[in-house]
Amino acid sequence: MAMREFRMPDVGEGLTEADILTWYVKPGDPVTDGQVVCEIETAKAVVELPVPFEGVVREIRFPERATVPVGAVIISVDASGGDAVEPAPEPARQPVLVGYGVSDSPVVRRPRKPSAGGRPSAGPGGVARGTGPRPLAKPPVRKLARDLGVDLSVVRPSGGGSTITREDVHAASVLDLGSRAASVAVGEPAVGPTPTVSPDPRETRVPVKGVRKATAAAMVGSAFTAPHVTEFVTVDVTRTVKLVEDLRSDADMAGLRVGPLLVVAKAVLVAIKRHPEINSAWDEGTDGQAGIVRKHFVNLGVAAATPRGLIVPNIKDAHTRTLPELAAALGELVGTARAGGTSPAAMRDGTFTVTNIGVFGVDTGTPILNPGESAILAVGAIKARPWVHKGKVRPRQVMSLALSFDHRVIDGELGSRFLADVAAVLENPKRLITWA
Say which of 170, 228, 319, 407 is annotated catalytic: 407
Q: Could you give the C-alpha distances from 402 to 47, 193, 419, in angstroms and in order?
A: 34, 43, 8
Q: Please state the φ and ψ torsions of residue 76, each to the nearest 5 degrees.
A: -120, 140
Amino acid at 203: E
Question: How many residues are there in the chain?
Answer: 436
How many CA within 13 A on the CB side of residue 86? 1
Distances (CA, A) of 233 to 204, 252, 257, 267, 300: 41, 32, 26, 15, 21
Task: Kindly list the distances between the CA atom of residue 123 and the CA atoms of 23, 65, 267, in Å, as whole numbers in the listed order.
Answer: 10, 14, 55
> Residue 6: what residue type?
F
Q: Does the active-site annotation cover 228? A: no
Phi, psi of 28 (to 5 degrees): 100, -15
Q: End-to-end alpha-carbon separation of the chain, Å?
A: 66
Q: SS3 of 94, please?
A: coil
| β pairing state of 300-302 and 352-356 | parallel
Give the 3-state secondary structure of residue 402: strand
Give me the active site residues, please. 407
